[in-house]
Structure 1
Amino acid sequence: MADQVVLFEEPGARWRSLAWGPAVCVLALIIELSTGPLVHWFALALFALLLAGFTYVQISAARRHVSVELTRESLRQGTETLDVGDIDVVLPAATYSDGDYEPKKWETARVLGELTGVPRRRHAIGLRLIGGGLVQAWAKDEEALRSALAEVVAEKR
């Protein structure tokens, strides 16, 4: 898959988030150095390390379980990969107007990525598979993924 062109990608989390906790501790250190005689060297260093450690775990999990990658051959959603050739139709977005709140069939289908539901701050995209089954793909920018998927599926026909 390394030589395939990536058409759509969402990493799940960015490594730059790792710097926020230690940056706040450095800011607290600067404030303590400039305002008073007591500087909490050990506590600030410990908290910087703890914050970086907890953030590292969260970023690693998000990059593994909530990342999305689409190539011409496959759609990877977290830990699950779906062959694009298995997708029959990219279903239109669900619209609710005129008091119609009945969920579409694909909105209750299995979620890709070995997850129990669509991850937070992501939006579902309905897919009908070749065998007639329904699944939900998801992304933060669902419109971009939907259009890229529709283009790739149309090429495969």
Structure 2
Amino acid sequence: MSGAVTSESATILFAEPGGRWRAVAYGPALCLLILILELATGSTPHWFALLFCGALIAAFVALQVVAARRHISVELTTDALRNGTETLSLDAIDAVLGESDEQNWDDEPWDSARALGELSGIPRRRTGIGLRRTDGDVVQTWARDHRGLRAALTAALDKRTPRPSDGHAGGGARNHGGPREAADPPPQQRPGENGADR
């Protein structure tokens, strides 16, 4: 889910909750359906078993939702990017690195970089996005809708105040994979003592 939502401190540009509370109701709903079928067909209803299973499934799923909302949620605001419990200020991000080419057998250099958050890697069903920090380190942010996060993050970086050192509006729009700027032209050769070039 993404969209602009105004909070007290900043505007949320992109958000993925990681888990939704409606999933807790799936188990009890299934047990209720089985109970209705038993009553409709004249079978002996298994009240205790269905109530116990419904409560057990709901409790187990609730724990999963709590963990998901804590560890695999994503939130991008005008001030910071949060993956799980780790928050990275946008001022600490220099650039969003190029997207991986699915047709290329070689991995991008940032594919082995550390993933943001407290997990050991990128969560399942999420895709990484390479980031270059202002201190030179390369890390990976991640999201299920990785293209949506990439677009929102690039736009947020482009709107930053230009840094006095580089004069760019933000890291997202800069091409860090292109050729280097031309160096100063070499000094002109001086003619030799006999008037001809050496």
TM over 0.5: yes
Report the residue type matching 1:68 in the other structure: V
Aligned to 2:73: 67
Name stretches of at least 5 consecutive residues in structure 1 with no aligned partner: none
SS of 2:107's partner is: coil
Is the aligned partner of 1:102 residue 2:141?
no
Which among 79, 83, 88 is matched to residue 89 of structure 2? 83
CA deviations 1:52-99 (Å, max 9, x no partner) are 0000000000000000000011001001000010000001101043xx
CA deviations 1:97-154 (Å, max 9, x no partner) are 3xx4121111000000111111111111000000111000000111110011111112
CA deviations 1:10-44 (Å, max 9, x no partner) are 00011011110000000000011111341100000
Aligned to 1:125: 129
For these two proteins, the number of residue pairs brought into alignment is 155
SS of 1:136's partner is: strand
Which stretch of structure 1 is more off in the superposition, 80-89 or 31-40? 31-40
Q: 5 Å matches for 1:128-147?
A: 128-147=132-151
RCO greater where, 1 or 2, for CA within 8 Å and sep 6 or more?
A: 1
Which among 16, 28, 34 is matched to residue 28 of structure 1? 34
Report the residue type matching 2:23 in the other structure: S
Aligned to 1:16: 22
Q: Percent identity?
A: 49
Q: Aligned partners of 2:155 and 2:44: how far apart in 1?
A: 62
SS of 2:159's partner is: helix
SS of 1:55's partner is: helix
Which protein has the larger Cα radius of gyration, Structure 1 or Structure 2? 2
Report deviation, 1:3: 2.9
Report the residue type matching 1:46 in the other structure: F
SS of 1:89's partner is: strand
Report the residue type matching 2:101 in the other structure: T
Pairwise CA RMSD of aligned residues? 1.1
Aligned to 2:51: 45
SS of 1:117's partner is: coil
Q: Aligned partners of 1:21 and 1:104: how far apart in 2?
A: 42
Q: Aligned partners of 1:28 and 1:130: how far apart in 2?
A: 57
Normalized per residue, the structure richer in helix is 1
Is the aligned partner of 1:7 residue 2:13?
yes
